Amino acid sequence: MSLRAQTDALRGSIDLLILKTLSLGPMHGWGISQRIQQASEGVLELNQGSLYPALQRLEKEGLITSAWGVTENNRRARYYKITAAGRRVLGEEIESWRRFAAALEMVMRTT
C-alpha cells in the first residue's frame, strides 16, 4: 500500500469513527474522543491533532454541523451533530468498511 493510500484509509477511518459516534447524539470534541476511547476499550486513542481538523473538514463537507452549547456543568462547548447527508455517508462507509474488513479477514485466513 502506498503512503498516500494508507493516509487516505486512516483519514477515512477517523471520519467513520466520528460519524458513528455522533450518530448516537450531539457531542463536543472531548466527548467524541472519550466515547471512541471507551467504545474501543482503550485500543483507539484519537490524536487531538487529527480530531479537530477532521471535525472541521466534515463540517465543511456538510456531513456534520456545529453550534455552541452548554455542558452538564454549565460550561460553554461546541457541540457537533450529524446531518442527514452525514448519516447517508455513514451508512455507505460502514458498508464499505465491513467489506474491506471482511476482505482483509479472508486474506489473513488464507495465508
Residue 57 touches other proteins, criterion: CB under 8 A: yes
Burial of 58 (0-12, 13-18, 19+ CB in 10 A): buried
Closest approach of other proteins to the CB of residue 86, in Å = 18
Classify residue 94 by its DSSP letter: H
Closest approach of other proteins to the CB of residue 8, in Å = 17
Residue 4 touches other proteins, criterion: CB under 8 A: no
Q: How far apart are CA 102 and CA 86, in angstroms?
A: 24
Three-class SS state of 24: coil
**101: phi then psi, degrees, rounded to nearest 5:** -65, -40
From candidates 53, 85, 101, 103, binder to other proteins by CB under 8 A: 53
Which residues in 12-41 contact other proteins (CB under 8 A)?
A: 28-31, 33-34
Binding site for other proteins (CB under 8 A): 28-31, 33-34, 47-49, 52-53, 56-57, 60, 71, 75-78
